[in-house]
Amino acid sequence: MRGSVFAVTLRARQRGWLIALMSLSALLLVAMGAYRNIDLSIYTELPEAFRSLIGIPENADVGSLAINAMVSSYGAITIAALAIALGSHAIAGEERDGTIALLLANPISRRHVLLSKAGSLAALTALTAAGLWAAILGSAAVLDVSIEGMHVGALALHLFFSSLLYGCFALAVGAWTGNRSGAAGAAAGLMIISFLAVGILPLLAGAKGFVRIFPWHYFDGSDPLINGVDWSHIAVLGAASTVLVLAGIMGVDRRDLKSRSVGVTLIDRLRAHPLSERIIGRLAGSARVSDIWVKTASEYQALFLIVAIYTFFIQGLLLGPIYNSMPRAALDAMSNLPHEMLALFGGGDISTVEGFYQLETYGMMAPVLVMILAIAVGAGALAGEEQRKTMGLLLANPVRRSRVVLEKAAAMVFYAVLVGFVTFAGVALGSLISNLGMDIGNVAAAGFLQTLVGLVFGALALALSAATGRKNVAIFGAVGAGLALHLLNGLGDLSPTMAGFANWSPFHYYLGNDPLNNGMDWSNAAVLAALAAVLIGLSVPLFERRDLR
C-alpha cells in the first residue's frame, strides 16, 4: 500500500511540478539569449571577489550568468515553494480535506503514509532538479553559450537537497499540528528569512559567521556552480531533512488526527465574546451570508498575519538599522555593480537608502508578498469553494453569482491594501528610527503601487478560478505569469531588443518611474488599476456562464 500512496501522490502532483519545470526552462532560454547580447566588459572588469559572488568564473561566457540568476534565485525559490506545498499537504492537507480517515481505512499505518508522502516529495524534487540541469545544458547548446568551468550538476544537487529540506520542514510541522496553512507559512517564512539573511549578514561587520545557522547558506554558500559539490553542506541538508522526517513520524503517531479541519476563525471568536458579539454580528451578517467578503477575509487571517509580521519587521523596520550598520566602503563598492546585473532584482543604487530599500524590499519581496496573499484569495475564492464542495451551499442562499465574485474580490482588495499599508508603515518607521531621511510621500507611493501590482495577479488568479473551477490552474497560472512578466521587465534593461517588450509587463508600471525617488506616477497607477479592474470584471461573466464542478 505504501507504493500505492507514493504513486497516487506522484500522479496527483506531477502536473504542477511539470508546469514549473517547463516555465523555468523557457525563462532560462530567454534569459540566456538576452545575456548573450550584453557587453562582456561589464563583467570582466569587475573585481575578482564580485565575479565570484555572482557566479561568473573568469573564463566563462557572460551568457552563463543566466544560470546563476535563474537557478540560484528564481529556480531555487520556485522549487522550494513546490516542495513546501507538497510537504504541508502530506498529512495536514489530508486532514483538512477530510480524506485522512479514508486513507487510513486501508491496511496501512500512519508512518507508512508519511514515509510514502516524503518519498514522493523527494522523487518530484529530484526529477525537477534533474530536469532543470538538462534544461541548462540544452539552452547552452542551442544558443552556443559557453558554460566551461561551471559545475551545473553540483548546483542541481545542492538545489535538490535545499528544496527537500524546506519540504520536510513543512511536512514535520503539518504532522505535529494538522494545520496546513501554518505548516506552509512556517516553512515559507524560514526560506525567505534564510534567503535574506544569507544576502545581508555578510555585509555587516562581525555578522558573517551567523549565516551558518540559515539553510540557504548550505545551498549556495560554497558556490557549487564554481567550486563543485560541497559534501559537508550536502551532509548538513540531508541530515536535517532526515531528522525532520523522523520528527514528523513522531508527531503523526502521537496526535489525534482530525477527520476534517474546519478551524475557528477570528470572526467566530469575536462573535462568541459578549463584548464584541453585537458589533461583529452586524459586520459579519447572519447565517444567510449577508457579507460574503467578511467570511472570505476570515478564512485567510492566518496567512495575512504571517505576511504582515514578516513584511513589517523584516522587509521594513529592521532594514533601516541594518543599512546604518553597513560599512560605507562596502556600500560604495556595491554601488559600482552594473545596473544590468541588478535589474532582475528591481535595480536601484544600493549606496543610497532609497536604492537599498528598492533592491531589498520593493524590487522583489514586496510585490511577491502581496501577490502571495492576493493570489491565494483569488484562486480560493471560487475554485476553492468548488473544491471543498461548499459552493452549492453558498449559492443555495438568495445571492447572485455576480455578487459572490465581487464580494470575494472585495476580500482580495482588502488584504492587498492592508499588506501595502503594512509595508509602508514598516519602511517609514525604519527610516524614522534610523534617521535615514526618506520621503514619506514617496514611500507611500511605492506601497500603493505595490498594492496595485499585487492586485493585478490576484485578479488574474480570480479570473482563472472563475473560468476553470480549478484552484491549481489559478495558482500556477497567476504565479507563472508573474514570474515571466517580472523577468521580462528585468530583461528590458539588459538588451535593447527586449526593451520594447518590458512595456507589456505590469512590473514596468510598478517601479518604472522609481517612486522612492520620484514619487507617484498616476498614469502608471491608472494602468495597474485598470488591469486589475478588467480582470475582476471579466471574472463575473466567466463564472456566470460556467457549469460549476
Block residue for cell numbers 517564512: 189
pLDDT(179) > 90: no
How much is the pLDDT for 382? 86
* Contact (Cβ atoms closer than 8 angstroms) between residue 327 and residue 334: no
Which of residues 476 and 378 earns the better pLDDT score? Answer: 378
Q: Hey, what amino acid is at 137? A: L
Sign, Cα dihedral of 226, 50, 129, 131: negative
Sequence-distant contacts of 133-137: CB under 8 A, at least 24 apart: 135/21, 135/24, 135/25, 135/28, 135/29, 136/28, 136/67, 136/71
- Which range is most confident: 58-67, 145-154, 331-340? 145-154
DSSP letter for 361, please: I
Segment of 42-46, 92-96, 310-314, 538-542 carrying the highest mean pLDDT: 538-542
Lowest mean pLDDT among 107-121, 483-497, 509-523: 483-497
pLDDT tens digit sequence for 78-94? 899 889 989 998 898 88
- The pLDDT confidence band at residue 358, using thresholds 50, 70 and 90, is confident
pLDDT of residue 96: 77
pLDDT at 262: 47
Say if residues 344 and 492 touch (Cβ distance below 8 Å). no
Given a cut of 90, whether residue 426 has pLDDT beyond it is yes
Tell if the pTM clears 0.85, that is, is over it: no
In this prediction, residue 193 carries a pLDDT of 85
Top mean-pLDDT range of 103-107, 129-133, 542-546: 129-133
Report residue 132 as a C-alpha cell: 532543470
Altogether, the residues listed in the chain come to a count of: 549
Across 274-292, average pLDDT:
54
Question: Confidence class of residue 465 from pLDDT cuts 50, 70 and 90?
Answer: very high
Cα–Cα nearest to 521, from 465, 452, 473: 452
Could you tell me how far CA 352 lies from the centroid of its own chain? 27
What is the rounded CA–CA span in Å between residue 17 and residue 6? 16
Q: Which residue has the cell 510514502?
A: 116
The grid coordinates listed for 322 are: 541594518
313-328 average pLDDT score: 79
Burial class (CB in 10 A: 0-12, 13-18, 19+), 533: middle
Q: Are 451 and 510 in contact (CB under 8 A)?
A: no
Mean per-residue pLDDT for 498-503? 69
Question: Do 91 and 113 form a contact (C-beta atoms < 8 A)?
Answer: yes
Please tell me whether residue 327 adopts helix, strand or coil conformation: coil
Long-range contacts, 520-526 (Cβ 8 Å, 24+): 520/441, 520/442, 520/445, 520/448, 520/449, 524/449, 525/448, 525/449, 525/452
Average pLDDT over residues 96-104: 78
- 238, exposed or middle or buried, with CB in 10 Å at 0-12, 13-18, 19+? middle
Please report, rounded to a whole number, the percentage of residues in the chain having pLDDT higher than 70. Answer: 80
The answer on pLDDT for 460 being more than 60 is: yes
In this prediction, residue 42 carries a pLDDT of 52
The answer, yes or no, to whether residue 111 has pLDDT greater than 70, is: yes
Least confident residue range of 1-10, 151-160, 410-419 = 1-10
Q: Is 403 exposed, middle or buried (0-12, 13-18, 19+ CB in 10 A)?
A: middle
pLDDT tens digits, one per residue of 378-398? 988 888 788 777 787 777 777
Q: Which helix (H) or strand (E) holds 395?
A: helix 391-395
At 400 the pLDDT is 85
Amino acid 539: pLDDT: 93
Q: Would you say residue 511 has pLDDT above 70? A: yes
Identify the pLDDT of residue 275.
Answer: 59
The string of pLDDT tens digits covering residues 304-313 is 887 888 888 8
Give residue 283's pLDDT band: very low, low, confident or very high (50, 70, 90).
Answer: very low
Residue 427: pLDDT above 60?
A: yes
Contact (CB, 8 A) for 228 and 247? no
Q: Which one is predicted more confidently, 462 or 395? A: 462
Q: Sorting pLDDT into bands at 50, 70 and 90, what band is 2? A: very low
* Whether pLDDT at 478 is above 70: yes
- HEC letters along 110-151: HHHHHHHHHHHHHHHHHHHHHHHHHHHHHHHHHHCCCCCCCC
- Report CA dihedral (227, 232, 234, 236) to the nearest 10 degrees: -140
Neighbours of 273 (CB within 10 A): 10
Three-state SS across 436-454?
CCCCHHHHHHHHHHHHHHH
- Reported confidence tier of residue 541, pLDDT bands at 50, 70, 90: very high
pLDDT score for 510: 92
CA distances from residue 517 to 176, 440, 523 in whole angstroms, order as listed: 47, 11, 17
Sign of CA dihedral 254, 13, 134, 499: negative
Say if residue 444's pLDDT is above 50: yes
